[in-house]
Structure 1
Amino acid sequence: MADFYNRFIAQRDEIESKLRSASSEADKQECLRQISDLSSQCKAVLHTLPHHDQQLYNEQLAALTKKATEGRKKFAFKSRMGSFQTQTQGQTGTSQTQSQTSQTSQGDGRSQTQWQSSHGNEHSQTQSQMSTSSSSQTQESSQSSCSNLHETVHKSHGGPVAISNCYRSVLIIDSTTAKLDNISKCFVYITGEGPVYLTNVKDSILAINCHQFRMHSSNDTQVYISCKSRRPIIEKCSGIGFGQFPSQLAEGKDVYEWEAIDDFNWLRPSQSPHWSQITQPTLDWDYMVTLIHHHEQKITPWLNYLQSHSHHQSM
């Protein structure tokens, strides 16, 4: 979805520029029309977007709409644009969409919009897409889960996996989808054909071969990655080092060199201060392969080696 992300950012920046120079009601209405077009593009790819991406685009569309409608206290503009929004309820990941007409309050002149469809067939298509999304998320709810790992070697193979609250541990994962949360001072090796979602990772070393990579609210972590989408994504991160996935761990699978890192908190053309490229790997990957292939279950050899070869000496 990197191409769509780039198009979205370009169109968003163009609309913001026009809003800054808008001098008449007609100018703002033209901006609202462009926001509507952009929202329609988002709707068309809804079923392919992770829930977090849906929230991100929704927030930016809502912010654009607010800018375009500020100060219009006596004008109510009914729009097909809105924003597209899904809400997840409970652990089953059930998604639902809400449709409502954009209205301007006479009290404060601010407009809040939800994504709406004015034709029955569009509504049916949206419901069908969300039904598919809900079904997919229900299947994910049956994923393998574990938490509270401390100084442990943990291995997962097969379907979707969710792991949380790990400290000074080794995670070896081969799954269709991997979701990791609250990982500290760990070594993580992931190989699979699907996406990887990481949240709250710190002071860790990751070797990941995946289709799509998302990292959120993480810091001081080395990531050696093969990403089929070629554009790993980070958000609210700092001190992240990116290096190429070690060939020793490829195990016959294709390896894809990443072309760029998309930092959602640094949309300027200049280098993001939140990540850097790893030019000198700190680990002997031949030795790491030996540990992995010998199915070393004791944590002590892992921790001893990682502590002596890592920037994070407290591992």
Structure 2
Amino acid sequence: MEDEENTKPNQIPDQSLQKKHQLMLERLSNRHQTRLETRKVDSLDSSTSAFLSRFNDSKNSITSHLQTTTDPSRLPDISASISALEKLVAENSYSLPSYEVRSSLKTISDLKQNLENLSAQLIPKKKFAFKNKPTKTQTQIPQNDVISEPNETKPKSNIWVRESPGFRDKQNEVLFRDFKGSEIGEFTLAGLDACEVRLVGCVNALFVNKLKGCKVYAGPVTGSILIEEVEDCVLVLASHQIRIHFAKSCDFYLRVRSRPIIEDCNGIRFGPYCMKYEGIEEDLEAAGLSEETGNWGNVDDFKWLRAVQSPNWSVLPEDERLGTVDLADLECGNGAS
């Protein structure tokens, strides 16, 4: 009985000490978490400041060239600078505040428009010429070939399409290109009608302009994809940043690090990336796109500023989506087409 009475008073201070100790640990943990969050915010602020400094320096340089250039041969250099600026935004978009991304892309859009206006002033328009409609064939371009673009058929676009490799002005053709082992920085698809395009491997940037009734199956793009004036198309694409302008009645199957951006579009639908070919997992890893972010369904419509869902795009119903697009099956004439 004595032992029992002696132990009871000792238990009270032990419990009190344990409670104080627990409270102290919680306070220390909260302080540590607060420090970590503060450091994270400071790091993000520092990263944003560094980006804005680089962005503004480049923007001011491009603006200066646009205002002073009188030689048409300098236009491709200005276009290259704008593309580099757009790549800078794409590489940093996932770590920037959304309003900074929007503002930067609006600036780039204005620069492109100014470049197009300057081009119209310095380069006289070519006369229209009819072209014979080719029959449907499969075309494979040799690895080191660079496709030239006739001046008279160059598409007019808000995107200044440079003399990069690409497929241009084709009808009813199956077009294939393997980028593996090449050093191609940019690739262009322009003026295609009822074509099927199959691109294997990685490329830094992809420009898509004036496609109608086409199917595009592409491996990962390490920078940006810019799309203008596409209608009744199916596009399977992976990239860090994807911007779509003047698209109508198209289905997009995407894997993208930042939110896709659309402008002046209607009747377009989105689903997850569904591409397959031998080595695609390694290509996605190399491009920093191995992880599915789910951003294919988080679309920003820059021409729809209301709080409710934009009526210009929707998520593809699961029962209407493509299955896996395996290029090996396509080449055999089977599977998705």
List per-residue Cα deviations over 1:196-242 (Å, max 9, x = no partner).
Answer: 1111111111111111101111110111100012x001000000101
Q: Quote the RMSD (CA, aligned, Å).
A: 4.0
Distance 1:43 1:281 in 2: 46
**1:3-152 aligned within 5 A:** 43=56, 46=59, 48-49=85-86, 56-57=106-107, 87=115, 89-90=118-119, 141-152=162-173
Instruction: Give the TM-score of the pair, scaled to structure 2.
Output: 0.48
**1:1-315 aligned within 5 A:** 43=56, 46=59, 48-49=85-86, 56-57=106-107, 87=115, 89-90=118-119, 141-158=162-179, 159=184, 160-173=186-199, 174=201, 175-192=203-220, 193-229=222-258, 231-246=259-274, 248=276, 251-252=280-281, 253=284, 254=290, 255-258=292-295, 260-286=298-324, 288-289=325-326, 292-294=327-329, 296=331, 306=337
CA contact 1:212–1:228 (8 Å) conserved in 2: yes
CA contact 1:153–1:297 (8 Å) conserved in 2: no
Q: Secondary structure at the match of 1:43?
A: helix
- Greater displacement, 242-251 / 196-205: 242-251
5+ residue gaps, structure 1, are 1-38, 61-82, 92-136, 307-315
List per-residue Cα deviations over 1:172-211 (Å, max 9, x = no partner).
Answer: 1242211111111111112221211111111111111111
Q: Secondary structure at the match of 1:285?
A: coil
Instruction: Give the TM-score of the pair, scaled to structure 1.
Output: 0.51
CA contact 1:167–1:184 (8 Å) conserved in 2: yes
Q: Secondary structure at the match of 2:320?
A: coil
CA contact 1:54–1:86 (8 Å) conserved in 2: no
Identity %: 20
Distance 1:84 1:90 in 2: 10
Distance 1:246 1:84 in 2: 32
Which residue identity does 1:265 align to in structure 2? Answer: K
Which residue identity does 1:260 align to in structure 2? Answer: N
List per-residue Cα deviations over 1:28-56 (Å, max 9, x = no partner).
Answer: xxxxxxxxxxx999736746347998683
- Greater displacement, 210-219 / 241-250: 241-250
Number of aligned residues: 192
TM superposition outliers: structure 1 runs of 4+ over 4 Å: 39-42, 50-55, 83-86, 88-91, 247-250
Q: Secondary structure at the match of 1:216?
A: strand
5+ residue gaps, structure 2, are 1-51, 60-83, 90-101, 121-158, 285-289
- The Cα of 1:279 is off from its aligned counterpart by 2.5
- The Cα of 1:146 is off from its aligned counterpart by 2.7
Distance 2:175 2:195 in 1: 8
Q: Which has the higher helix share?
A: 2
Q: Secondary structure at the match of 2:106?
A: helix
Q: Secondary structure at the match of 1:48?
A: helix
Distance 2:300 2:306 in 1: 10
Structure number with bigger Rg: 2
CA contact 2:218–2:275 (8 Å) conserved in 1: no
Which residue identity does 1:223 align to in structure 2? Answer: F
Distance 1:141 1:154 in 2: 20
